[in-house]
Each structure stands twice: as structure tokens, then as C-alpha cells.
């Protein structure tokens, strides 16, 4: 069965490997502190730029879906969109 948001503690290993380098510091939040991570706007904005630099479109979509799932569990429904650097 799929984990329920209330009992589920996300880890860096839950995101695609390409994005793991972007999420390692958790914006200064403790591991598993979903409320802190999901409300840390500067950190989320950095992720929105970092993840598309290292991941393909499918992987970016997986990261976005994961973030939305996790953050909804703490009442955060508005996350920054991925930001693709212009070439």
C-alpha cells in the first residue's frame, strides 16, 4: 500500500538520483521536518532552479509530484514551478 502522508517520513533517497544533490541540505531543516522544508520558500526556489539543471523532464515531473504529495500533508499546496535556464 502507498504510504499515508501522516505516517510517511520522506528521505533524500525518495527523489530521483539526479535531484539528490539539490536536496541534500534540506534548507537547514531537520531530516523528516516536512513542515519546515515545505514552508522554506528560499530553499524551494533554489530547488526549482537546481533540479531541472540535472534531471530530464520526466524526472523533474517525478520530483514535482513527490514534493506536492509530501507538502500537501502539511497543508502547503503552492510550490514554485521548475525553472529552466534559457540557453
d(CA 50, CA 33): 21
CA–CA distances in Å: residue 39 to residues 34, 49, 58, 76: 8, 17, 25, 7
Ligand-binding annotation for 33, yes or no, is yes
For residues 77 and 44, the answer to whether their CB atoms sit within 8 Å is no
Binding site as annotated, residues:
33
Binding site as annotated, residues for heme:
33
Amino acid at each position: 500500500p502507498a504510504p499515508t502522508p501522516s505516517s510517511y517520513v520522506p528521505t533524500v533517497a525518495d527523489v530521483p538520483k539526479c535531484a539528490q544533490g539539490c536536496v541534500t541540505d534540506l534548507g537547514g531543516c531537520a531530516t523528516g521536518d516536512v513542515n519546515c522544508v515545505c514552508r522554506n520558500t528560499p530553499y524551494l526556489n533554489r530547488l526549482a532552479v537546481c533540479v531541472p539543471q540535472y534531471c530530464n523532464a520526466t524526472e523533474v515531473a517525478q520530483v514535482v509530484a513527490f514534493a506536492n504529495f509530501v507538502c500537501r500533508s502539511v497543508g502547503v499546496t503552492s510550490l514554485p514551478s521548475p525553472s529552466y535556464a534559457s540557453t
